[in-house]
Amino acid sequence: MVGYLKNFEKMTTLSLIGMMVIVVALSIFELGWILYKDIMTPPLFLLEIDELFEIFGFFLMVLIGLELIETMKEYLVSGKIRLHVIFAVAIIAISRKVIILEPEKYESLTLIGIAVIMLALVIGYKIVKNAENPQKAEG
């Protein structure tokens, strides 16, 4: 029974990796298309602020996808999820949100909440990273 569950788990992980590869590949294609379209729209080779935010947001989405693929690959190989990778994905996701955020549309308490979440994630990342590599933290 345990063997069947392991096989099911492995097939599920492989399926998720395959689907994520497709999503990341399509995202890269769409990012390239958006970049081309924005660059070729007059005035040529100049990007407006909202276009830059859209492009940066897409770049970070591709990075999130790559980190998720890395996490699933690590899980497939070792059977373990590296917690610092999960923190890194969360930090990238919040960073993406902050980059495309229009602060005037939100209350100050919401912005403070986002800052607290970001700070908590960075502190958590540092704690986990130090716990995984105690000799590096000392030196």
Query: With contact defined as beta carbons under 8 Å apart, do 121 and 90 qualify?
Result: yes
Report mean pLDDT in 10-residue bins for the chain, 139 residues: 90 95 96 91 85 86 90 88 86 86 89 94 94 69
Rounded to a whole number, what is the distance in angstroms from the first to the last CA of the chain? 46
In which domain, by residue range, is 91 found?
Answer: 2-138
Torsion angle of C-alpha atoms 66, 68, 74, 80, degrees rounded to 10: 160
| Residue 110 confidence (pLDDT) | 92
| Residue 137 confidence (pLDDT) | 55
| Number of domains the chain contains | 1
| Residue 14 confidence (pLDDT) | 95
| Residue 136 confidence (pLDDT) | 64
